[in-house]
Chains A and B, each alone.
Chain A
Amino acid sequence: MSRFSRFILSLAFAGAATSAVAFENFKGIGRPATPAEIKAWDIDVRPDFKGLPKGSGSVSQGEVIFEEKCASCHGTFGESNEVFTPLVGGTTKDDIKTGHVRALATGDLPQRTTFTKVATISTIFDYIQRAMPWTAPKSLKPDEIYGILAYLLNLSEIVPSDFVLSDKNIADIQKMMPNRNGMTTNHGMWPGAPASKGGIGNGGKPDVQAKACMKNCKTEVRIGSILPDYARNAHGNLEDQNRNFGPVRGVKTGESLAAAPKNSAELELATISGCMACHGINNKIVGPGYNEVQLRYKDQTDAEDRLSRKVREGGQGAWGSIPMPANEHVKEADAKTLVRWILSGAK
């Protein structure tokens, strides 16, 4: 810690005093957490499996749940690259033996998948439990998570297809994780106690040691890389991303905003209503592209009413198993406007 922060500290605590007194000082603030409250929120699972709920699930059970609740974004085999990087792939039988994913060192990997990186199986259990499926986090029961995890382990060829994963045998599976030996904490970027004192890392010693030369530091300037032409123009018109007064101007790299067609009022409404996070005009994101919606309902006279109700109430099943959450924040009239816009070929 710097001298400066120590200084602030002494200011911060002058008057607030030491721990024993502090409790007295904060009379009337906070209350004990009940056991039920702690149980409801304390869902984390550590590498030593502290916090792991009891339960079990088989590969085949997991496959069914995965297909229903996960495959639309991650692909049936966890291989999809559409919504996020693939979950499985890139690991070998040999990696399972060594605990090092070899392709990480050789570079024979088009893309790092979850299983090529993760060393601790607890991490995946914990994460699915707290955050997946993406649009309905914390909706899975422990047995479902065990099943899904068993299925992912099977896809990674770590367990056979008749395997049942449970709180009893998960520690054995940890010993087969393909990249279980792939982490190092020998670095200087942990801001706490070093490994030598029971913490992590080398105590803050930097690995890269540059010197500050001031004059005639080198004989030539070696350029390692320049901006490729396509990248110069790939971020819209830079002219519109700088003030039009001041010391410099943005370089013109595209159509200027003034010349570009304005977004339609409906598109603005869809954007501020949050619809565009899940729907593209011409592409599926989480929900169907608006073009597909138009195509499906173009001859149905009652579609407008039905769909605007569904937009506000949410629902699933028409396009797959991912639900559209309720959009109660959208006014009835706005929902109608949006649906009319979608059905007339949103632009």
Chain B
Amino acid sequence: MGNLLEQAGRLRPAPENFLSDEQVKAVASGRRDFLRKSFLAASAAMAAPLAARAADGDSNILSNPAWTTSLGQPVAARPYGTPSQFESQLLRRESPGLARVGGASVSFCPLQGLFGIITPSGLHFERHHQGWVDVDPSKHRFMVNGSDDSLIKRPKVYTLDELMRMPSVSRIHFIECGANSGVEWANVAVPTVQYTHGMVSCSEFTGVPLKLLLDDCGVDYKKARYVLAEGADGSSMTRTIPMEMVESGEVFVAYGQNGEMLRPENGYPLRLVVPGVQGVSWVKWLRRIEVGDKPYATKDEAVHYIDLMPDGQHRQYTSIHEAKSVITSPSGGQTLLDKGYYNISGIAWSGRGKIRQVDVSVDGGINWQTARLEGPIQNKALTRFNAAWVWDGKPAILQSRAIDETGYVQPSYGQLRAVRGSKSIYHNNAIQSWKVVESGEISNVQVL
């Protein structure tokens, strides 16, 4: 294939838009000479027109395509814009066999094709426990009360009209499900980054700091050291959040997501944002905050989202996501088209603050190079990293390792399992490895 690349103008007759079945088979079966053979010593059927074109140049340049020679569509032809007709591949998808019913399941975000750090709202991962609902904002109410009258002077009710009059903040934060990468604790189970890491997304959220609302209600912060957040859907999901986080001003009651209102699947019209903490605490369709003097041991902090340790004890109230990263391109289930230059690109995040450094290895962790971080680097947000790689056509194992501003270093599978075993389900932040073989096919492996 080297010959093809060296031709002037990189004229490669195919593949432009796809690999044919035959080509994919050839590449997958390890016949890396396939492209050269098929195009240089091409069959009679293909050779004539391709050779002619290759001599003059690319037909896409030599003759103008329809979009260059005609009138385009008027403004507002699609009042709510949608992606190009050519972008049909990157969709939220379920992982077969993970859950039994769609109402208590997960759909994964297609990280393998996304750029930068902001997740398009329509591709944000979903996790519902009792289906998603589309709440009428004019009928939605938000209540603040206390587990005890002595904890709060004025329990209050707010409407969206009122909340949206209050001072607002807009901040970019990642949200990750506590069970992201959960199926991989013991062994490799799924083929692509969508299914290994696709329960993380990142948006700009807009809303009112919860502290302002609690102040407004006259909360006694001496006694009320916890808040309970509750949803308005059938599950009325509840989670305990420490008052320290609320007092820090980080926790907010959000209505906006990426410049528009939240999507119904993400809690329209109101959800809690609890930066750095697992997604289950970001209660969707938020209807109530109760301030209390004790934690609540709700179903999703006493039956689920508890981490099973090797001694048989479950860790309860584990909430923070420790530093984690993953290479999204090239990644599992993909095939490299050629030897030569590639941009290794991925995302890193930490529930303890900013990402300080990401290192990338192409030899399974023997040697590492420091990747370039795309700024500005935000607190408790995805951070995009990029590193140069020239693939020599030989087997390789790609890895990334995040370090956050506290100095915490993302562990390998060996290091993580030595402490936590392999049954935890939650908070798997091990280094992800992608193995590249000579055919260019990349697959999911675990390096200890």
- The residues of A with any CB-CB pair to B shorter than 8 Å are 1-2, 4-6, 8-9, 12-13, 15-16, 18-19, 22-23, 26, 28-33, 37-38, 41-44, 46-48, 50-51, 82-84, 100-102, 104-107, 112, 114, 117-120, 122-124, 126-127, 130-131, 134, 137-138, 182-193, 198-201, 204, 206-218, 221-228, 231-232, 234-236, 238-253, 256-257, 276-277, 285-286
Contact = CB atoms under 8 A, between A and B. Distances in A.
Contact of A131 (B234, B343, B365): B234
Contacts of B366: 216-218, 221
Interface in B75-108: 86-91, 93, 95-97, 100-104
Q: Say whether chain A's binding surface is mostly helix, strand, loop, or mixed.
A: loop
B89 A241 contact: yes
Contacts of A37: 143, 157
3 nearest CB pairs, A to B? A192-B242, A105-B312, A2-B353
B334 A208 contact: no
B216 to A, nearest CB: 5
Given A12-B209, A183-B306, A241-B333, A19 B288 contact: no
Nearest to A24: B216
A215 B367 contact: yes
Nearest to B345: A247
A15 B330 CA distance: 47
Given A26-B212, A226-B446, A234-B190, 13 more contacts: A1-B248, A1-B250, A30-B216, A117-B303, A130-B238, A198-B225, A204-B320, A217-B366, A218-B365, A221-B363, A235-B96, A244-B18, A252-B25
Contact of B225 (A131, A199, A250): A199
Contact of B97 (A19, A234, A244): A234
B329 A247 contact: yes
B249 interface: yes
B123 to A, nearest CB: 12
Contacts of B319: 189-191
A38 B190 CA distance: 46
B367 A217 contact: yes
Contact of B235 (A130, A231, A251): A130
Interface string B256-274: 0000000000000000000
B351 to A, nearest CB: 8
Contacts of A231: 188-191
Interface string B298-313: 1100110011111111
Given A38-B155, A241-B194, A137 B130 contact: yes
A249 B24 contact: yes
Given A119-B302, A251-B334, A221 B311 contact: no
B443 A252 contact: no
B295 A38 contact: no
A9 B249 contact: yes
Interface string B335-355: 111000011000000011110
Contacts of B313: 104, 182-184
A232 B443 contact: yes
For B192, B351, B435, B448, the residue with the greatest tally of chain A CB atoms inside 10 Å of its CB is B192
A72 B268 CA distance: 31
A41 B229 CA distance: 12
A67 B17 CA distance: 57
Interface in B231-253: 234-236, 238, 241-245, 248-250
A246 B435 CA distance: 20
B34 interface: no
Nearest to A222: B448
B215 interface: yes
Contacts of A285: 101
Nearest to A21: B215
B135 interface: no
Nearest to A238: B333
Contact of B334 (A8, A138, A188, A248): A248
A124 B299 CA distance: 7
Contact of A208 (B144, B312, B411, B446): B411
B292 interface: yes
Contacts of A42: 145, 288, 290
B356 to A, nearest CB: 10
Contacts of A239: 24
Interface in B375-427: 378-380, 397, 401, 403, 405, 408-416, 418-420, 423, 427
B59 interface: no
B416 A208 contact: yes
Given A83-B101, A192-B244, A48 B17 contact: no
Contact of A2 (B147, B238, B354, B418): B354
Contacts of B91: 241
B406 to A, nearest CB: 8
Contacts of A106: 312
A247 B330 contact: yes
B338 to A, nearest CB: 9
B225 A214 contact: no
8 contacts: A2-B405, A41-B143, A192-B245, A210-B412, A221-B366, A242-B112, A253-B333, A257-B88
Nearest to A87: B303
